[in-house]
Amino acid sequence: MLEEDIIRLLPDSVANQIAAGEVIQRPASVVKELVENSIDAGATSVEIIIKEGGKALVQVVDNGKGMSPTDARMAFERHATSKIAVADDLSTLRTMGFRGEALPSIAAVAQIDLRTMRRGDNVGTRVLIAGSKVEGQEATACPPGTNLMVRNIFAYLPARRKFLKSDSVEFSHITHEFERLALVNTGVDFTLIHNDVTLHQLHRSSLKQRITALFGKSIGHQLIPVETESSIVRISGFVTLPQYARKRGAHQYFFVNGRNMRHPYFHKAVLNCYSELSSAGTQPGYFINLEVDPERIDVNIHPQKHEIKFEDEQSIWQILTAAIKEALGKANASGAIDFDSEDVPEIPFFSPDAPGIEPGTDVDPAYNPFDSARQYVPSAVDDWQKLYEGFTARSASAMPPADDETGASGLVASRLGGRAEGVEAVRSRLNAVPDEVAPPPEVNLGLGFEAPKTETPLFTLHNRLIVTPSKSGIMLVDRHRAHVRVLYEQFSRQLAEGDVQSQRLLFPEAVEVSAAGSVALQTFSGELAGLGFDMAYLGDNTWNITAVPSLSSSVPASELLQQLVEELDTSGEARESLIKPVAISMARAAAVKSDTVWSNGETESLLYELLALPSPDYTPDGLAIIRTVSHQQLDALFE
């Protein structure tokens, strides 16, 4: 007996739920789709209201052109759209949406309450939908525009709802999406409200004013304008100065024809412009808008429309690179050439009336190089014995005396604690003291342990790299990262032991942070208070700091808070303990800076502390601290 036909059409509700998996990933996706619809409707004012990180409510209110009763109902039908009519319209798109998938996908997984009215109508319409099922449509009184409420996202798709993160994490994603939307639509007023607290109220402004309104006034002096135009593309926007490149959380935004975009190829073009200007492991910020002929790009790549293909990709790469390099050059970002004026001979001005001077020679006519009877008299530079004695004398005078108490003042107490095995571990790694040679007298470097004095040569290159020989070649140690690692171990241990006291500031500091950072501080305010922070929210994403942990009392409170916000904001997940992010933030803020000069004693002490740690090779966030150039690599350089 033959089987019956088994292929059948899925119900629209099931098809919409499947589509929702691509279009709607979390509450932030709902915010993106609804706000883009408001922009396409000609809205000049958009208000976004969030409850419980978007899980309970995402509401978008705009003053756009509104919808008729028929359009209000049709908007939730699959592939129903007002943006395109034929396939050729895809090549001339200037609207944000065009697929007709967002609203039916949202309606399939949540509860919808839509109220809308066109200008000129006497009454509006209200549509109620739950799980793709229309529960009612009626006339209602409402202002012109659209008010769309999405409640209980993924209520009809429990498998997806259980994967949502905490309210703070989900709202962090919403704030990042809000920032992208606000940056690309500077001609629109935006308001963001979370749990009845207004976090942003942005008015129409220029791009630079919108950037400072979102990320704080301090970013204003970091921006360099970028502007160029060709027959292929018009580029405008801003990049940040190289000295403000960040290791984490850099503000990086690409826009094309008023649309947000992610483009790894163009991102690499920007990074190449900074390759020799900023330190390794850091990335610059940029806010770059590209205006291209819509017929030369393809936005129909992904349902979320973040990916865009360019017909003239390589040409735009070259134009973008040239524009950024020109902007950096105009801002003197590459630095001026510093000519050393010491010991430079004075060159007189040329005078055409000055008499000419014939060059003279100093010749000894009695000198005969073939005279074998002439005895050789060594000059001072040939007396190698005296030279060597002078070199060793200078080396000895450069070393700190045994009773020097300033060699490592300001560094943290060592984890070695005077343990013999710890000292031997350091000696083994450096291979500094052979077993058959008695170690020299020990000297107290002020680190809380007796560090052995060795004959290991070391020096610091450009106040950044510590260079010293090792068993396998030459060891290169990043001084700042090494100090971060050492400080992190001490801070995390003391925080875990509860050995933390709060240090009152003589003058409280007001610090402005990003909206996402402000949310993170509010979320973890109780835990931070237990770790020694005393802060109060002043509004407008500004926090007043009155006390910090005594472990970091020497660090500017504003710098410490910015480091902490960066760590909490980029963590992406709720944390069971704040010990690690707080310890990392304190260590980064307190670690030695590149403009600080250390003595040999301080450098040697830091190296001993680092190599005594169980994991000295990487920072807590995975950046390399130690690199070794092997003997084979050194030999290969001179083959």
* Closest listed residue to residue 524, CA positions, set 490, 484, 485, 571: 571
**pLDDT score of 419:** 42
Could you give the CA distance from residue 167 to residue 186 in angstroms, rounded to a whole number? 28
Does the pLDDT of residue 82 top 80, yes or no? Answer: no
Based on the domain organization, do 161 and 227 belong to the same domain? no
Based on the domain organization, do 414 and 293 belong to the same domain? no
Could you give the CA distance from residue 461 to residue 618 in angstroms, rounded to a whole number? 20
**Residues making up the chain, counted from first to last:** 639
Q: Place 99 in a pLDDT band, splitting at 50, 70 and 90.
A: low
Spatial neighbors of 95 by CB under 8 A, at least 6 apart, are 40, 83
Q: Place 88 in a pLDDT band, splitting at 50, 70 and 90.
A: low
- Among 283, 309, 330, the domain-final residue is 330
Alpha carbon 278 to chain centroid, angstroms? 13
Based on the domain organization, do 425 and 287 belong to the same domain? no
**pLDDT score of 31:** 93
Q: Place 303 in a pLDDT band, splitting at 50, 70 and 90.
A: low
Based on the domain organization, do 140 and 174 belong to the same domain? yes
The C-alpha angle with vertex 124 and arms to 118 and 129, in degrees rounded to 5, equals 110
Minimum mean pLDDT among 222-226, 424-428, 434-438: which range?
Answer: 434-438
Could you give the CA distance from residue 304 to residue 326 in angstroms, rounded to a whole number? 34
For residue 597, give Cα distances in angstroms to 198, 342, 469, 594.
46, 22, 21, 8
Minimum mean pLDDT among 284-288, 341-345, 556-560: which range?
Answer: 341-345
Domain extent for 312: 208-330
Number of alpha carbons in the 13 Å side-chain half-sphere of residue 17: 19
Based on the domain organization, do 504 and 566 belong to the same domain? yes
Based on the domain organization, do 467 and 602 belong to the same domain? yes
Segment holding 259, helix H or strand E: strand 259-261
Does the pLDDT of residue 571 top 80, yes or no? Answer: no
Does the pLDDT of residue 90 top 60, yes or no? Answer: no
State how beta strands 473-478 and 465-469 pair: antiparallel
- At 319, which CATH number? 3.30.230.10
Does the pLDDT of residue 572 top 90, yes or no? Answer: no
Q: What is the DSSP letter of 592?
A: P
Spatial neighbors of 3 by CB under 8 A, at least 6 apart, are none
Does the pLDDT of residue 615 top 70, yes or no? Answer: yes
17 or 566, which is more confident: 566
Average pLDDT, the chain: 76
Q: What are phi and psi of 475, to 5 degrees?
A: -95, 130
Minimum mean pLDDT among 14-28, 435-449, 559-573: which range?
Answer: 435-449
Residue listed under structure tokens 């510590």: 466
Does the pLDDT of residue 414 top 80, yes or no? Answer: no
Based on the domain organization, do 213 and 167 belong to the same domain? no
Does the pLDDT of residue 426 top 60, yes or no? Answer: no
Minimum mean pLDDT among 244-253, 572-581, 585-594: which range?
Answer: 572-581
Does the pLDDT of residue 128 top 60, yes or no? Answer: yes
Q: What are phi and psi of 462, to 5 degrees?
A: 55, 35
For residue 480, give the amino acid letter.
H
447 or 309, which is more confident: 309
Mean pLDDT of 12-23: 60
Minimum mean pLDDT among 114-118, 365-369, 385-389, 623-627: which range?
Answer: 385-389
Based on the domain organization, do 168 and 242 belong to the same domain? no
Spatial neighbors of 319 by CB under 8 A, at least 6 apart, are 228, 230, 232, 233, 235
Mean pLDDT of 196-215: 91
24 or 416, which is more confident: 24
Mean pLDDT of 444-462: 56
Based on the domain organization, do 71 and 133 belong to the same domain? yes
Based on the domain organization, do 451 and 410 belong to the same domain? yes
Based on the domain organization, do 584 and 604 belong to the same domain? no
- At 419, which CATH number? 3.30.1540.20
* Closest listed residue to residue 292, CA positions, set 264, 266, 273: 266
- Enumerate the β-bridge partners of residue 134: 129
**pLDDT score of 156:** 83
- At 577, which CATH number? 3.30.1370.100
CA dihedral over 30, 36, 38, 40, signed as positive or negative: negative
**pLDDT score of 81:** 65
Based on the domain organization, do 200 and 223 belong to the same domain? no
Structural domain count, the chain? 4
Note the pTM of the prediction, 2 decimals. Answer: 0.60
| Token code pair at residue 472 | 């396998």
- Among 330, 353, 373, the domain-final residue is 330
Could you give the CA distance from residue 270 to residue 253 in angstroms, rounded to a whole number? 11
Minimum mean pLDDT among 295-299, 340-344, 492-496: which range?
Answer: 340-344
Provide the 3-class DSSP secondary structure of residue 252: strand
609 close to 485: Cβ distance less than 8 angstroms: no
Burial class (CB in 10 A: 0-12, 13-18, 19+), 483: buried
Residue 574 domain flag? yes
